[in-house]
Structure 1
Amino acid sequence: MFWYILFVVLLLLTYYWYQRPNKFPFGPRGLPVIGVAPFLGKHPHKTYMKWSKEYGPILSVRLGRNDAVILNDYDSVQQAFGARNTVFSGRPPNGFLDKLFEGHGIVFMDYGENWKSQRKFGLFTLRGLGVGKKTMEERVFEEVAYFKDEIKANNGKPFDILTSLKKAVSNNICSVAYGSRFDYNDPIFNQLIHNLDNIFNTPEIISTIAFMFLIPILRHIPPFSSRSKRMLGIMDKIVGVQKDIIKDHQNSLDNGNVRDFIDAFLVEIKNKTHSSFTEKQLVYYILNLFVAGTETVTQTVRWGLLSLIHYPQIQKKLYEEIDSVLGSDGKVTMSHRTTMPYVCAFVEEILRCRPAASIGLPHMATDDAEVNGFSIPKGTQVFANIWAVHHDENIWDEPEKFKPERHLDEKGNFVMSHRVIPFSMGPRHCLGEQLARMEIFIFLVSTLQGFEILPDPDKSDLPIFHDSVPGLNVLAFPFRLVAKQR
C-alpha cells in the first residue's frame, strides 16, 4: 500500500511539474524544485539562445519552482516591453533582491503609483541637474582630464585600467547625486570603489549573484549562503557611506539652493510631496544610481579598450577620424557625433557585441497578457535576452564578429539601429541612458585622442576578448594594457 501511495504521489508531482498553462510557451522544465539551474552553464544568455533555436524565440523555463518566459528576438521584446505597453512593467518578488534593497530604490521597485512618482522625479531632477545638456558634458570632460592624468602616471608601463576608469565614471554620478566629485585618493571614495570591485569583479560573487538572482531560495543553501552573507556585508558598507553623505546634506539643506539629487529629494520629503519620498527610499535610490551608473559605463568602455588591443586597424581608423576633427588638443562634445561616424559605429558595435546586461532585469506580468500568440498569465516573470537580440543571425551578418562597419551606410554615414537595445526599452528602460551614452562617447574619444592603446608586452597572448566572466553580466576578464602617449 505504501509503495502504491508513493507511486501515485510521484506521478502527481511529475504531472504538476510538467504542466503548463494553456497556450504557454514551450521550453525545458529541468529538475523538480531547482528547475533548469544546473543546465544554464557559465553563460545563461547563450544557453537560452541555444534553446530558442529548438523551442522558438519565445520560450519558457522553470527557475526554481516558478515559470519564467525568455524573449530571444527583437520582435517579441518590442511587443512585450514597447513604449505603450505597461503590462510587463512589474518586478517579481525576489527574496535575494528584497534582502539587498528592502523593496526600495528605483531599479527593483514594483510597478505602481510609488514607482511612477519616483521615476517621474528621477527624470525631471536629472534633467534639471544637466543630464543630457552642455553642463553635464562639461562635468564629464573635466573628469576625463583627471582620468588621463591617472593614465599618464603609469609612464607607458603595463597596468590594469579598471580601478582608474571606475573612479572616473563613478565621479560623474557623484557630481550629480552628491553635488561634488571625490579626489581619487580620498579614503572614503577608495573604500566605495573597493567594495564595488568586491561585488562586481570577484568571480565567485558574480556567479553567486547570477544563481541567487534567478533562484532566490539558494541563498539559504551552502555555499551560496556564506557568499550571500558576504555580499550583504559589503552592501551594508556601501549603504553606510550613502547614509553619512545624506546626513551631511540634511545638516546644510537650503530649500532655495538645491545643489544636487540628494537635496532635491530631501526637499520632496520636507514638502511631503508623496508618501514614497522617505529617507530609506533616498538611500537606495542613490545606491541604485551609483552602482548601475558606475558599472554599466565602466564595463562598456573597458570592452572598447580591449577591442582596440585586438583590432589595431580599427584603432588606427578611429584615431585618424578623431584627429581630423579635434586635432591633438580639441575638446570633444556630443555635437561631434555628426562628424565622427566611424567612432559612433564603433561605440554602437561595442554596445551590440558586449551588452553589459546580457539578460535584462526581470519583468513581471501585472495582468494576463499575450505576446505573439502565447498567453502569459499574471505574475509570470519575463526576461529579455538582450544578448540573443544582438546576436540574431536573421538580423546581423556574422553576429559573433566585431565589425563597426555594419552600422555605416554605403556613404559612410552612421546609422543607429533600433535593434541595439543595451539599455532595454519601454517604460522601464534605463533611467541613466542619456548620461551613459554621453560618458561612453566622451571617454573613448578623449582616451584615443591622447593615447595609443597597446597590449601588455610581458604577455605572449592577447587578453581574452571573445569570452567573458561567467554570470549574467558580460564582464571582461582582468587584463593589462599599455597606454602610449601620443
Structure 2
Amino acid sequence: MLDCNHILNVYTLTGVVGLLLLYWFWRPYKFPPGPRGIPFLGILPFLGKYSERKIAKWSKSYGPVISLRFGRKDFVVLNDYESIYEALVKQQSKFSSRPKHTLPIMTDIAKGAGFAVLDYGEFFKSQKRLGLLALRGVGIGKQSIESRVLEEVTYLVKAIASTKGDSFYISKVLQKAISNNICSVVFGKRFNYDDKLVEDIIDRLLNGLKDPTTTLASRICTLAPFLKYLPPVSFIISRFKKKLETSLNFIQEKIDTHRATFNVEDLRDFIDAFLSESMKENSYGFTDRQLIFYIRTLLVAGTETVASTLAWALICCLHYPETQNKLREEILNVLGSDGKITMSYKSKMPYTSAFMQELMRFRTLNPISLPHKTNEDSELKGYFIPKDTTVGPNIWAVHNDPDYWDEPEKFKPQRFIDADGEFIKSNHVIPFSLGPRTCLGKQLAQMEIFIYLVSMIQQFEFLPDPNSDKLPEIDDGINGLAFLPYPFCLSAKVI
C-alpha cells in the first residue's frame, strides 16, 4: 500500500511538470503562432544549416508572421515583404531598436560600442549621419567616392591580368580591392596588394564571417546567448578574441596618428570627421572605443558583402556562361573594349542592372537580417508584439517566395527585363533590408558592384578552373551571419 508521502511526491512532481509545460507552451495574448520545439532548447535542434529556409517553410503552415522559441526566449520572424515593410517602414519608430544579444560575441568585446549594435535613438542617428557623409564623400577628403572606386579598378584589373590565364583564387583579389575602397574612406589611403600586414589585419577582421567554425558559434550565440559560456563555443570565442585584438590595435594606432596630425580645417577621412565631432559640445559617446568598433564595422561590412557578391556573380557566370556573354555584349556595345565605366552609364545597361538585381535575390547575402527589437507594445498583422520582443526579417523568404517569384530557385536575370528590353526595378528585392537600419553602405555597395562587375567582364572572359573538373558550388556556402561562397579558383582570359 502506497504511503501518503509517496502519493504527495507523485502529485507534487506531476504539478511541477504541468507548470513547466504550461510555462513552455504559454504565449502572450494574440502573440503570433509558431513551433515551440523542445524544452530548454526550443527549435534550435531543428533549424539545420539553413535556418532561414526552415523558418520560411514553417511560415507556410503558421503564416508570414510567426513566433519561435530559442532557448527560453520568443522571437518573432517576418517572412514576407508586406509584414517586413509594415514593421520596418510604416512602424519604424516601434521596430528599429536592437536587442542586447545582437552579435553577442562582438557585443561582449566592444562593450556596446560600434554601430550595428547601437540601440535606436539620437546617438544612433548622429552616428548614422556621420557614416553616410563619409561613405558619400560629403565634405570629407578631396576625392569623390566614385573616383576612388574607379582608381581602384585599375589596380584590380592589373592584378587579374597578372595571373596570365592561370588558375587563381579570385575572392582574395576582390577582398583586397574592396577593402581598399573602405580604407580610403576611413584611413585616407589605399594599400598595396602585397602589403602583408594589412592583408592579415583584414583577414583577422573578417574571421567572424568567413571561418565556418566561428560563424556557427556566432549563429548559436545569437539565437541562444547562454551557450557562449559553455564549451566548445566558449573556446571558439576565446580564439576569435585573440585574432581580433591585433586588428583593433592597428586601428587604434591609425587613430593616434590622425589625432597627432589633425586639422579641423582639412578633414581627410572618416577618422578626422569623427575626431572633429568629438571635440564639439555635447559629444557624449564619441570615444576612441566607439570609433574603433565603428571602423571595424565599416571594414567588415564594407569589404565582405561586396567582395562576396562579386564572387557569387562570377560563380553565376561560370554556371550560366550565356549570362556572361550577354553582359559582355551589352558592355561592349555601350563602352567598347577600352571605354571607362562610370555610374552615368548604368541606365544604358538594362541587362547588367537585371543581372545585379537577380544576383542579390538569388544569392541573398544576409538571409536573416540583423535582429530588431520593439521599443514599445505594438500590433502587426493583427498580432500583439510586446515591448522588447526580438524581431527578425527573413530576407531569404522574401527573395524566394513562390507566391511572388516564378521559379525562385533558378537564376533568371531576364525576369527583370520587360517586353521593350527595359530594366524592371523590383521593390521586393531587399538585400540591404528596409527602414532606418537599412545598410549604411548601400549606395557605395551598389556603385562598387556595378563598376567592378562591368570592368571585369569588359576586360576578361572568366572560365572554370582548368585544374578541376567541378564548377564552384553555387547552392551551398558558408552560412553564418552572411551567406558566403566557399573559396574557389577560376581563370581569367584577357579579351
**Interval of TM-score (by shorter of Structure 1 and Structure 2):** over 0.9
* Counterpart secondary structure, 1:182: coil
Q: 1:254 aligns with which of 234, 246, 263?
A: 263
CA offsets 1:223-251 (integer angstroms, 9 cap, x no match): 11111111122222221111111111011
Question: Secondary structure at 1:305's aligned position in 2?
Answer: helix
Indicate which of 228, 233, 238 corresponds to 2:242: 233
Q: Distance in 1 between matches of 2:110 and 2:425?
A: 35
2:398 corresponds to which of 382, 389, 405 = 389
- Give the corresponding residue for 2:214: 205
In the other structure, the counterpart of 1:11 is: 18
Q: Distance in 1 between matches of 2:429 and 2:180?
A: 27
Instruction: Report deviation, 1:188.
Output: 2.4
1:50 corresponds to: 57
Q: What are the residue-to-residue correspondences of 1:405-420 with 2, within 5 Å?
A: 405-420=414-429
The answer as to whether partners of 1:170 and 1:294 remain within 8 angstroms in 2 is: yes
CA distance in 1, matches of 2:90, 2:317: 35
Structure 2: distance between partners of 1:444 and 1:472: 24
- Aligned partner letter, 1:469: I
State which of 291, 298, 301 in structure 2 corresponds to 1:282.
Answer: 291
**Superimposed CA distance per residue, residues 438-480 of structure 1 (whole angstroms, 9 cap, x where no aligned partner):** 0010111001011101101221221211222243421112211
Instruction: Identify the match of residue 36 of structure 2 among 14, 29, 32.
Output: 29
Q: Distance in 2 between matches of 1:195 and 1:159?
A: 22
How has the CA–CA distance of structure 1 residues 130 and 185 changed in structure 2, closer, same or farther, with 3 Å as cutoff? farther
Whole-Å separation in 1 of the counterparts to 2:417 and 2:98: 37
- In 1, distance between residues paired with 2:39 and 2:66? 18
| In 2, Cα distance between equivalents of 1:204 and 1:136 | 35
Q: Distance in 2 between matches of 1:384 and 1:208?
A: 21
Q: 2:3 maps to which residue?
A: none
Pairwise CA distance, 1:154: 1.4
Q: CA deviation at 1:96?
A: 3.1
Cα displacement (A) at 1:197:
4.7
Paired residue secondary structure (2:169): coil
After superposition, what is the alpha-carbon deviation per residue over 1:86-116, rounded to whole angstroms, capped at 9, x for unaligned?
A: 2100100114342133211111111122212
Corresponding residue of 1:176? 185
Letter in 2 for 1:28: P
Q: Is the 8 A contact 2:113 2:289 kept in 1?
A: yes
Q: Which amino acid aligns with 1:317?
A: K
Q: Tell me, what secondary structure is at the counterpart of 2:76?
A: strand
Does residue 71 (structure 1) correspond to residue 78 (structure 2)? The answer is: yes
The one of 433, 438, 441 aligned to 1:432: 441
- Retained in 2: the 8 A contact 1:91–1:362? yes
What letter is aligned with 1:2?
N
Structure 2 unaligned residues grouped into runs of 5+: 1-7
Q: Shift in Å at residue 406 of structure 1?
A: 0.7
Counterpart position of 2:348: 339
Which residue matches 2:95? 88
* Contact map agreement 1:105 1:282 (CA 8 A) in 2: yes
Larger Rg: 2
User: Cα distance 1:134–1:56, how it changes in 2: closer, same or farther (>3 A)?
Assistant: farther
Kindly tell me: are residues 398 and 115 of structure 1, through their superposed partners in 2, closer, same or farther at Cα, counting changes over 3 Å? same
Q: Distance in 2 between matches of 1:386 and 1:157?
A: 37
Amino acid at match of 1:387: W
- Code of the residue aligned with 2:148 in structure 1: it is R
Residue type matched to 1:255 in 2? V
Q: Distance in 1 between matches of 2:207 and 2:129?
A: 32
Q: Distance in 2 between matches of 1:57 and 1:145?
A: 46
Give the conservation status (yes or no) of the 8 Å contact 1:182–1:189: yes
**Aligned residues with identical type, % of pairs:** 47
Which residue pairs with 2:309 in the alignment?
300
Shift of 1:273: 4.4
**TM-score scaled by length of structure 1:** 0.97
Residues 251-307 of structure 1 show CA distances to partners (whole Å, capped at 9, x for unaligned) of 110111100010011011122342121221111111111111111111111100110
Q: Which residue in the other structure is 1:361 paired with? A: 370
CA distance in 2, matches of 1:322, 1:98: 44
Give the TM-score taking structure 2 as reference length: 0.95
Q: Does 1:193 align with 2:202?
A: yes
2:127 — aligned with what? 118
Structure 2 CA distance, aligned partners of 1:238 and 1:65? 35
For 2:69, the equivalent position in structure 1 comes to 62
CA 1:93–1:296 in structure 2 vs 1: closer, same or farther (change >3 Å)? same
The aligned counterpart of 2:5 is: none
8 Å contact from structure 2 (residues 202, 247) kept in 1: no
Deviations 1:29-58 (CA, angstroms, capped at 9, x unpaired): 112222211111011111111111111111
Query: How far apart, CA to CA, are the structure 2 residues paired with 1:5 and 1:12?
Result: 10
3-state SS of 1:86 partner: helix
Which stretch shifts more, 5-14 or 330-339?
A: 5-14
Aligned-residue offset at 1:415 = 1.3
2:357 to 300, 325, 348: 348
Q: Which runs of 5+ in 1 are unaligned?
A: none
Once residues 267 and 273 of structure 1 are traced to their aligned partners in structure 2, the CA distance between those partners, rounded to angstroms, is: 12
Greater CA drift, 429-438 or 230-239: 230-239
Note the aligned Cα RMSD (angstroms). Answer: 1.6
Kindly report structure 1 stretches of 4+ aligned residues shifted beyond 6 Å.
none
